[in-house]
Amino acid sequence: MNKKTVKDIDIKGKKVLVRCDFNVPYDENRKITDNRRIVAALPTIKYLLENGCKVILCSHLGRPKGEVKPEFSMDIVAKELTRLLGQEVKLSKDVVGPDAIALAENLNAGEVMLLENVRFEPGEEKNDEELSKKFASLAEVFVNDAFGTAHRAHSSTTGVASYLPAVSGFLIEKELNFLGTALENPERPFMAILGGRKVSDKIGVIEALLEKVDVLMIGGAMAYTFFKSMGYNVGNSVCELDKLDLAKELMEKAKAKGVKFMLPVDTRIGKEFKEDTESKTVKYTEIPDEWEGFDIGEETIKLYCEELKSAKTVVWNGPLGLFEFDQFAIGTNSIAKALADVDAVKIIGGGDSAAAVEKAGLAEKFTHISTGGGASLEFLEGKKLPGIEALQDR
């Protein structure tokens, strides 16, 4: 990575603003249900504290859309950070207002505070210059460790970097190292597994990966658009009728590039979209009317698992079925289990595939699980991420 990290500049005793990704899920009682993103930020925070820094953390939570909404307060994150760090993390009552300024001014070396939800500020998502200056006025150094929002040009991710020395934290460094190495210098065979709902969400990724991989496996609802483009009936399955020509083009491109393009050979279908719907497995060419495809079938699982045995680098983004419903989580779980035993560099590209691997209790069997769904997708596409571009070069 050619971007400076916290280790490349003198941060001893300095006041440091750290943009984290604390956008964690929580239940109706405002209890955090998955703290992985908070845990992922700890190495950078602890390093700063060990170097006597005064640490000001900031993040968004949910989508308050520029309004102060108590249900999106960072109070639950402050409590969890206090527990994980074993020291008090004070929460300011505002983002860049009098309370935040006072708390920041009175911070001592080795102390931590957290700003209220940055998206309570209407200028945050507009990358407002005045707001960026206010963020910068709180500190002497800016550290971006929020890979999950690195694809957004907001005041707290890119704007503030114009007014302070800006470097990456350890999480962004790790993300770029793993994803970058996988794309630029993969050990081969290099295989990619792409799932999820729509071909349109993954066009850029498929096109970029066709330039790099040896094998591309398709699963999830987007498979049905490919089946339809081949002239087969897909019943009530999710299908993008305006993307049929594109699906054909992508398959032809794979053929021309010598990439093995694998589609499911059978599919688990259901009568309706509900947990306990009647279901059965059929060949991909025999999906009946009124039925909907929800998972890859047993034959596909066998084929994909067999193929993966020889992989040396694997990137996986997107579940292979409707994994929220147990009876349609078999494909995703089976691939996760098979991959766990493969001796390869294995990278999960964030989002639902990360959740599936966590749910299966297999996270520690993977080389790297990205914390950024949208950001890792754009990175895999080869797009420049504004939050990374704004950081100082080595």
Tell me whether residue 374 is one of the annotated catalytic residues. Answer: yes
Q: In which band, very low, low, confident or very high, does the pLDDT at 376 lie, cut at 50, 70 and 90?
A: confident
Give which of 81, 73, 71, 69 is closest to 44, Cα–Cα. Answer: 81
Give which of 40, 38, 10, 42 is closest to 25, Cα–Cα. Answer: 38
Instruction: Pick the catalytic residue from 14, 37, 119, 174.
Output: 37
Tell me whether residue 37 is one of the annotated catalytic residues. Answer: yes
Instruction: Pick the catalytic residue from 196, 321, 351, 372.
Output: 351
Average pLDDT for residues 254-259, to the nearest whole number?
A: 97
Please indicate, yes or no, whether residues 290 and 246 belong to a single structural domain of this protein. yes
Residue 148 sits in which domain range?
6-171
Tell me whether residue 361 is one of the annotated catalytic residues. Answer: no
Domain boundary at 171, 204, 238, which?
171
Would you say residue 350 has pLDDT above 70? no
Would you say residue 1 has pLDDT above 70? no
The number of distinct structural domains making up the chain is 2
Is residue 394 included in any domain, yes or no? Answer: no
Q: In which band, very low, low, confident or very high, does the pLDDT at 16 lie, cut at 50, 70 and 90?
A: very high
Please indicate, yes or no, whether residues 248 and 124 belong to a single structural domain of this protein. no
Taking residue 172's Cβ as centre, other Cβ atoms within 10 Å add up to 29
Is residue 316 included in any domain, yes or no? Answer: yes
Please indicate, yes or no, whether residues 132 and 191 belong to a single structural domain of this protein. no
Is residue 236 included in any domain, yes or no? Answer: yes
Q: Give the model's pLDDT for residue 386.
A: 93
Q: Give the model's pLDDT for residue 201.
A: 81
Please indicate, yes or no, whether residues 183 and 164 belong to a single structural domain of this protein. no
Would you say residue 240 has pLDDT above 70? yes
Please indicate, yes or no, whether residues 134 and 223 belong to a single structural domain of this protein. no
What mean pLDDT, rounded, does the chain reach?
Answer: 94
250: domain CATH number?
3.40.50.1260
Instruction: Pick the catalytic residue from 198, 253, 337, 365.
Output: 198
Whether residue 60 contacts residue 119, with contact meaning beta carbons closer than 8 Å, is answered with yes
Report helix, strand or coil for 159.
Answer: helix
Is residue 248 included in any domain, yes or no? Answer: yes
Please indicate, yes or no, whether residues 11 and 108 belong to a single structural domain of this protein. yes
Q: In which band, very low, low, confident or very high, does the pLDDT at 352 lie, cut at 50, 70 and 90?
A: confident
Percent helix, percent strand, percent coil in the chain, to nearest 5: 40, 15, 45
Is residue 273 included in any domain, yes or no? Answer: yes
Please indicate, yes or no, whether residues 123 and 78 belong to a single structural domain of this protein. yes
Q: Enter the tokens of residue 275.
A: 């947990």
Would you say residue 251 has pLDDT above 80? yes
Q: Give the model's pLDDT for residue 125.
A: 96
Is residue 1 included in any domain, yes or no? Answer: no
User: Which residues have C-beta within 8 Å of that of residue 33, sequence separation ≥ 6?
Assistant: 24, 25, 26, 27
pTM for this prediction: 0.84
Please indicate, yes or no, whether residues 216 and 167 belong to a single structural domain of this protein. no
Please indicate, yes or no, whether residues 154 and 261 belong to a single structural domain of this protein. no
Tell me the pLDDT tens digit for each residue of 291-317.
Answer: 999 999 999 999 999 999 999 999 999
Would you say residue 192 has pLDDT above 80? yes
Domain boundary at 171, 201, 230, which?
171
Please indicate, yes or no, whether residues 204 and 293 belong to a single structural domain of this protein. yes
Q: Give the model's pLDDT for residue 35.
A: 92
Q: Enter the tokens of residue 247.
A: 């699906």
Tell me the pLDDT tens digit for each residue of 195-237.
Answer: 988 888 888 889 999 999 999 999 999 999 999 999 999 999 9
Domain boundary at 139, 171, 203, which?
171
Please indicate, yes or no, whether residues 135 and 182 belong to a single structural domain of this protein. no
Alpha-carbon gap, residue 309 to 161, rounded angstroms? 44
Q: In which band, very low, low, confident or very high, does the pLDDT at 372 lie, cut at 50, 70 and 90?
A: confident
Q: Give the model's pLDDT for residue 321.
A: 93
